[in-house]
Amino acid sequence: MESNDNSRFSLAGKRALVTGASSGIGRHLALTLASAGADIVLAARRRDRLEEVRRDIEAMGRKALSIELDVTDRASVERCFETAESDLGPIEIVINNAGVADTAPFLEMSEEAWSNVVETNLTGVWRVAQVAARRMAGRGKGSIINISSALALAVQRNQANYASAKAGVLQLTRAMALELGRSGVRVNAIAPGYFQTEINADFFDSQQGQGYVEKLFPRRLGTLDELDGPILLLASDAGSFITGSVLAVEGGALLKGF
Ligand code: NDP
């Protein structure tokens, strides 16, 4: 049916689960989805931090649940979805956002730094997406949004583990979209440029970091509210014909090339 209002962006009556909701981008996106009307499941390892976000969301008049989750542990992921759906109801939206960084020059990167980052940022995303999608496909609807990175589309020094994992997330997104499209589950990715959060605050607070920002094409970092439009588009019915896509949100930083 044709409609020209903004109601397709509404998430009223929907339930969304956000991994890595205890800080940074995940916390912000949880609040954004709640402000569009969704009830929210907040998941991460730090329960105390999740509880703070839960109180913020409840103050907005929405339901919220905080659940301890480690995306590197299959049993933890299964338990998280079981609790979420039995306490709140079917989850229609998953923001697969949990991630870590562990930078080192390629020649010096340890096995541990490689596998921690790949295990969380790629395998963890796969694990959460698979557990979510099995449930969603059975019900014939769902939207999964994987948080990749601009470093999936261009590379930088000292980030071989992170960039490889985030590039893997893009292919995972397309593979899932292909296999799940006809069961009503959409899968998309967002590739953010730089946003200051706990993952990079030390660098961007330093003089070196500030000098780096000056050299970026947009000459600034993103602000978290600049992720709101992209997430609402992909999460809501406004994006009902979008699947397998990658939305870069980086202020043109990738345009510069060399
Ligand atoms: P933060 O460090 O603030 O947040 C990372 C989140 O991931 C935390 O909530 C952390 O929660 C959670 N997390 C980490 N490991 C696990 C785990 N094993 N199980 C469950 N949760 C986990 O960084 P950002 O908010 O910046 O990062 C969010 C996502 O955005 C990441 O995937 C990151 O790679 C991506 N990104 C960030 C960019 C930026 O510039 N900030 C740019 C591009 C992408 P807890 O410790 O409580 O478990």
Tell which one of 18, 47, 97 to mutate to probe ligand 1, the residue whose CB is within 8 A of the most ligand atoms: 97
User: 147 CB under 6 A from ligand 1?
Assistant: yes
Give the per-residue pLDDT at 258. Answer: 62
* pLDDT score at 3: 64
Q: How many CB atoms lie within 10 A of CB 76?
A: 16
Q: For the chain, where are the E strands, in sequence order? A: 15-19, 39-44, 64-68, 93-96, 142-147, 185-192, 246-249
Question: Is 162 annotated in the active site?
Answer: yes
Among 23, 194, 205, residue to substitute to test ligand 1 (most atoms within 8 Å of Cβ): 23
- Say what the pTM is: 0.97
In angstroms, what CA-CA distances link 18 with 37, 79, 158? 15, 15, 28
Ligand 1 within 6 A of CB of 45: yes
99 CA distance to ligand 1 centroid (A)? 4
Q: Enter the tokens of residue 49.
A: 């931090």
Residues of the chain falling short of pLDDT 70: 1-3, 257-258
Question: Ligand 1 centroid to 182 CA: how many Å?
Answer: 31
